[in-house]
Structure 1
Amino acid sequence: MNVFDRKAKLLQKNRALLAENPVIYDYLKDEVGARLADRIFDINRKFPRVVEIGCGRGHVSKHVIEDCVDVLVMCDSSQLALDQAALPEQGVRVEKVVIDEENLPFEDNSVDLVVSSLALHWVNNLPATFSQVIKSLKPDCAFLGSVFGGDTLYELRSSLQLAETERVGGISGHVSPFTDVRDIGGLLTQAGFTLLTIDSDEIVVGYPSMFELMWDLKGMAENNCAWNRSLHMRRDVLLAAASIYQDMYGSEDRVPATFQVLYFVAWKPDPSQPKPAKRGSATRSFKDLNSVK
């Protein structure tokens, strides 16, 4: 699997981090990071060692508290991101490590919780990464993450496709491919995880026009880095796409952009975990449920 140009993505991230005021583009990742951190608090235990894959500018770490975590290992492919990342509250020990998300350096059975927020959608080989994560976790420990879902930016994708079909007679790849609920669930199960919980959320952000949306995506380092991406787009195609976007989805003063976010919790198997009853062990039929007192 070699869908994404990982070197190009690192360059895009570093370029965004070197912008004059990168904090103004953090609104989406900060919101998702806060929601993911809430899910850490929902697990009723304290984690001695937590690894965050793709920490960025600390969108999750800024919410971590010592009541839940002893040591937080913040990991990212960009040293600039680690330098700028917001730290958790005092009392949480922090380690910063530059890693490649496709080659995790952690020893087997050495981590109590792995967290990743909006970072894994740029990984070429998700099955291999999930397999490395489950090996690094201790038994009965969790993998908690969020990724963009398949409906993300559907307005932008359809507008660009319609504009290119009209002006060029074909379409090119301008928006990165995303996964869906079934894919994430299947890949986690294939890697050996159990007790999966996956839920979907939609965040709709309004922009003055399509151009502000594309500018913010670049500021977030979420511009496309697929190998088959189109490196140039004609001016008339862009103008046509902006007009289609406004006409199909916009209101008088703004256009919406939908970000579908998939949250998941998956556990490494352990004999102490609850097991489903054996097939055929039921003592009542579903048709008799209304008669049960």
Structure 2
Amino acid sequence: MPLVNTAELIAAAQAAGQGIAAFNVITLEHAEAIAEGAARAGRPAILQISENAVKFHGGNLSPIAAATAAVARASKARLSLHLDHVESVDLLRQAHPAGFSSAMFDASKLTYGDNVKATAEAVRWGHERGIWIEAELGKVGGKEGEPPLDAHAPGVRTDPAEAAAYVRDTGVDALAVAVGSSHAMTERTAALDHELIAALKTAVPVPLVLHGSSGVPDKEIREAVASGMVKINVGTALNTAFTGAARAYLEAHPSAVDPRKYLVPAREAMAGTVAHFLGLLG
């Protein structure tokens, strides 16, 4: 099936009052598992490649992007490609030739004024090329290389009035907000602020994005979508499933040397995780 435009998937989910999941791709097995899980669930999904994943591949976007696109095109599911947590302008500018229809430009480490300026320029560049742009306001902690951050600490969560001004001044197509989740959580214990999600939905005229969804319990995800979240990002949960299955196989077969032997159950575990998350959103 041809690649679908991310904006189309987001709009359809929002119109139906549903969520759509975006899953992080690190290896070819991730992409294959996401495609399989989406086909199994009968749901569309977004395959996203982060700047950190690109760094893992030697800083070269093209190979993993081409492989992910090929997997998506071979799938029966409706899938799009998204470039995630991009801080490098040079990497952002590779999105269009590499076949991405959307990108998350992350200027959240900058001061508010510099964030607005940099994001507005990214939006201008993206819209000239038909690329849907997501940005972040607030502090969704847990990213690699960052100090621990309490998702409930004062000043961490996204302020609705500031979010409305930010969207107006940058022109972004979607906004990732801090409402109680955190990146890289391996336990699903996050408690979301659903009143804040509802307030942000009222204040902001673009779809809301939940980062760090791997640490959010099923019930909380369902309620978040009902409160106004549209794009639900999942990454660590796939890695947890992958590593757990691979570890179990290697512990049971300590003499194994063929990576295919443990990559098969690892990929299957990720596909099951994908199907589970997608089942929460429709």
Same fold (TM over 0.5): no
TM-score (norm 2): 0.32
Normalized per residue, which structure has more helix? 2
Give the number of the structure whose alpha-carbon radius of gyration is greater: 1
TM-score (norm 1): 0.31
